[in-house]
Structure 1
Amino acid sequence: MLLAVLIANSEGNILVERFNGVPAEERLHWRSFLVKLGADNLKGVKNEELLVASHKSVYIVYTVLGDVSIFVVGKDEYDELALSEAIFVITSAIKDVCGKAPTERLFLDKYGKICLCLDEIVWKGLLENTDRDRIKRLIRLKPPTDF
């Protein structure tokens, strides 16, 4: 299961978070842990260079894209390899929406579309859509024409 998708700015402020199957009392722990992990390890990392960690029997894959840091947390069948696929789809969708690697301002300007993309990519803790063209069609808020 994909436990969390979290996107933060360079100062560690959380811009978007999606938790699945994580109790409310544990979410604060995960927020602070992921932000600290990013602060400790993401200095000088190139765009979309993946870093991997594990904590409490879960896997974490994280990266930098422009001015934002993206963290994906999973367990069981969502190991490092599956999470790297998920984070690749998420970064691709964000670049498609923003037109390039986003600054924080551009990310916040496109916040609504980015949230729609995340909702189409991850559904109830499962990686749902990985096809870029399908995601683009789904976020237009028009009924799908192909089944």
Structure 2
Amino acid sequence: MLLAVLFFNLEGNILVERFHGVPAEERLHWRTFLVKLGSDNLKGAKNEELFVASHKSVYIVYSVLGDVCIYVVGKDEYDELALAEVIFVITSCVKDVCGKPPTERLFLDKYGKICLCLDEIVWKGILENTDKDRIRRLIRLKPPADI
């Protein structure tokens, strides 16, 4: 299951978070842990360079895209390789929506479309769509067959 997809700015403030199957009392722990993990490892990282971590039988893949840090957390069948595919789809959709690697301002300007993309990529903790063209059609809120 995909437990979480989180976007932080470079200072560690949450821009978007999606938790699936994580109790509310554990979410603060995850936020704090991921900010600490990113602050230790993402300094000087290149755009879309992937980093991998493991914590309590849970896998974490994270990266920087422009001024935004992206974290994907999964367990069981969502190991490092599966999470790398998920983060690749997410980063490519964010770049598509923003037109380039986003600044924090541009990310927040495109917040609605980015959330629609996330909803099409991950549904209730399961990877739903990986095809960028299909995701692009679905976020226009038209049935895919009409296009």
List gaps (5 residues or longer) in structure 1. Answer: none
Q: CA RMSD in A?
A: 0.7
The runs of at least 4 aligned residues of structure 1 exceeding 3 Å deviation read: none
2:25 — aligned with what? Answer: 25
- Report deviation, 1:118: 0.3
CA distance in 1, matches of 2:49, 2:144: 34
SS at structure 1 position matched to 2:145: coil
CA distance in 2, matches of 1:70, 1:48: 9
CA distance in 2, matches of 1:133, 1:104: 25
1:37 — aligned with what? Answer: 37
CA distance in 1, matches of 2:103, 2:78: 29
SS at structure 2 position matched to 1:46: coil
Q: Percent identity?
A: 86
- TM score, norm. by length of structure 2: 0.98
CA distance in 2, matches of 1:109, 1:97: 10
- Report deviation, 1:46: 0.3
One-letter amino acid of the structure 2 residue matched with residue 28 of structure 1 = L
CA distance in 2, matches of 1:44, 1:37: 14
- Report deviation, 1:144: 2.2
2:3 — aligned with what? Answer: 3
1:133 — aligned with what? Answer: 133
1:77 — aligned with what? Answer: 77
1:95 aligns with 2:95: yes
SS at structure 2 position matched to 1:15: strand
- TM score, norm. by length of structure 1: 0.98
Whether the 8 Å contact between 2:134 and 2:144 is mirrored in structure 1 is no
CA distance in 2, matches of 1:111, 1:60: 23
One-letter amino acid of the structure 1 residue matched with residue 54 of structure 2 = S
